Structure formats: structure tokens, C-alpha cells
Chain A
Amino acid sequence: MSTTYVVRDSMTMLRRNLRHLSRYPSLALMLLAVPIVFLLMFVYVFGGTLGAGLPVDGGGTRADYLTYLVPGIWIMTVASVANGTAVSVAIDRTGGMFARFRTMDIARVSVLTGHVLGAVTRTLLALSVMIVFALLLGFRSDAGFVGWLGAAGLVLLLAFSFTWLTVAMGLAAGSIETASNTPLVLMVLPFVSSGFVPTEQMPAGLRHFAEHQPFTPIIETLRALTAGTPVGHEGWIAVGWCTVIGVTGYLWARRQFARVPVR
């Protein structure tokens, strides 16, 4: 299979994927609804109280909490879109499309490449919406161009890594239902991280977990980058986690893809 066909078939698969998005914008909006609802709820319902508890001189305000919360919400947006990816992969698997593609003489990688590129595109679109939304609510940033560039790079890396992981979950799931449930762990973990409240305020055991699970360094890094403050060693840990999750997801997906269902 020549490289031209790999590229051509991948583009065909990507087009198919994006067409699904344009055909079902409501599905994409549902995935966006999750981070939007959490952002509104945490800022306007809990934000006053949570802001007061932030380690700011004299206690913070609702506006301080918004600034604190937004990076975590962006990360959650990536996770929410990835959740949808698992479902669309499972639909192809159980619906026989993967089997059909496998009887055709096409570049085999293109099938998954289409899903991955489609998912990353969806993530970037969703993030653009969430950035505008945060700005509308009053989020302001002191970060310069380099900070935002770094933030974009981190988020893109995370998008690829979560996508490969959820592609694998979608392939491994026996049913569409399972495929939509397994990735929920990615939606729950941010709550037990520094995303919503600083870890210092958690009980010892929980705090230990929160500080050592992947979301905390990733969120801390994004927070520092978008606030224009120094990133420190958390940055390397964040990149490390993304790489580990992405490579694991990729290898797992490749293995699962070889086990295509035959109905």
C-alpha cells in the first residue's frame, strides 16, 4: 500500500468523520453541555464560597475562582469530547463498518486515523467555544504569546492522548453502552485533582491521590501557562503523563483493532 493511498484513504475517513459531526451537531453540543454546566454551576453556585477558600491574600472572590477553575474545565472539555469518540468507534465496530473496511483493499491505518483526526478536530472546536465562553464570563489572562502557544501545545497533546485511549476503549467495549460508560472515569478524575479546589484542603489520603494522579500536573501546567506564571517541573510530569496515556492507548487500540468483530 503506497503512502499516497494511506494519505488519500485517511482523508476519506476523516471527511466521513467530520460529516457525522455536521450531520449531528446536537451530539457535539451535548458533549459541550457537560463542561458548560459544570463551569456555570461551580462559578455561580459554589464560586463565592470556594473563592473565599482560595489561598489568596484576604480570601478570594467569585472572579478569582473563575480564573482558578477555567483551566480544569478546559481539560474536562477534552475528556468530554473523547467520551464521544469511544461511542462513535463502538458504533463502527458493532455496526459492521470496520468489518466491511477490512474486506476492502484500503490502507488499514486510515480507518483509525480518520477517527483520531476527526476527534482532535472536534476537540479543538469544542475548546474554541469554551475559551470564548470563559472570556464572556470574565476570565482574563496575563499570559503572553509564548504561554498561550505552550497551552495550545499541551492541549493538543492531551487531545491526541485521550483520543487514542478512548478509541481503544471504544474498540474494547462489547456494546455501545459500555463504550459510553468506560470513559466516564476521565470525567470523574478531574474532581479529585487540583481542578476544582486546591489539593491542600483535602484529607491526607485523598490529597496524596489527587496530587499524584495525571490530571493535577496537567491542570496545574495549563493553569500556569494561561496565567503567565512559571510552570516548573509540573510541566514535564504533565507531558510525561500525556505521552504515557497516549502511547498506551495507541498500542491498546492497535491490538483491539486486529480483533474486529464478525457478525
Chain B
Amino acid sequence: MKTSMTTVGLTLCLALGAAHAQDKAPDWGDKISEEAFLKAAKESFYLNKPEEFERLNDPSLAICNATHNRPDDAQVKEILGREQAAIVYPKDKALFGDWQKGKKWVEDVHGGRIGYPGFLDADDPHHANGGNCYACHAIDPNFPQAGNMGPPLTNYGKFRPKTEAMIKYTYDKVYNAKASNPCSLMPRYGNPRLLTPEQVADIVAFLLDPASPVNQPPVNAAK
């Protein structure tokens, strides 16, 4: 529990740090009202189905945009409440899945890309989605690419006890990062977006299982 509190504090600092860096910009187009923007957006995007427009109109992000990622206390409460309520757990309540599957979900980029009819790079919704976590994190030390917009997750489970609290903290973070950090830079992955509860549980295992390559020394590159 203690570890998990420290982690929360640390990630909050990182997130706020990022917000500060952005404040060099005087405004975020604040002269344009949400209403005017959404009106322009209605004309500017091609929709295959009306629901696609919801991707432009999210109540939690509306607060983050209006406050430049600095919600006040009441807004924090509102976002955390809404996002915590949105977390769904696997039917069998098993939050710790199969790390080998998790390895794949973390790497894959597929999922959620939509486009004009006949555009070939749109994603097939019948195919399992991935999280593209390497866009922002270093994770498996053997994976050739990593981003640094999020903290490194290499050795994530090495110094963290595989307690129930740590498993739940990790599950909730991956399922809905805005349930603990209201304007987190990290996307919300859980249904109905990209990852199913079972996939998130597999990712939890990938991050926390001592046998996972995340928590093992890198395989020596020498052949």
C-alpha cells in the first residue's frame, strides 16, 4: 500500500511537470468557444456512424482543455468519480492474466483507426486491438524502440510486491489512467475504446510477473 501511494505521488508530479512545460503557450485557442469548435468539427469530419463524433466530445477532457490540465478540486472530484465508475473488471475477477499475451497487446498498434469508406489503413474491428505502449514507455528491455512521454516501466515488478493492491493499482491505471490522475497524458484504454478487461489483465501480468522479460535482465545482444 505504501509503495502504491508513493507511486501515485510520483506519477502526479510527472504529469504536472508536463503540464507546466506546456504553459509557454499563452492560450489553447481559448477565444473559440467549445460550441463554435464543435460546430466547425461537425462540418469538418466525415462520419461513417454518428457515434464517431463522440471521440471529439468527452466530458472529462473538456475540463482538462478548459483548465489547461489544471482542474480545481471540484473538477478533480467530478473526473475521478466518472472515470472510476467507468472501470470494468473481468467476469472472473482475475486481474492478473497471461504475461505472454500481455507482451503482444503492449506492442501492437492495431485498433481504433477510422476513415473514409475504402481507405485501406482503417482498422478491422474484428481483429484484437493493441495498446502501442512503446509510443510513450520503455517496457521490455529487449524491445528496440521506446518513447519517453511516460515513465520507464522496465523492471516495473522487480521492486514492487505483487500484492492485491499493486495488481489493482496497475489494472486501474492501464484500464483508465484518468481514474487516478484526472488529466493524465496517458490514454484511457478500457472498453469501449481499445482494450478488453481480459487484455488489461494480461498486461498487468506482463508488468508484474517476475518471469516476464520486463523484470528480467535484457537478453544479451551478442549472438
A, B in one complex = no
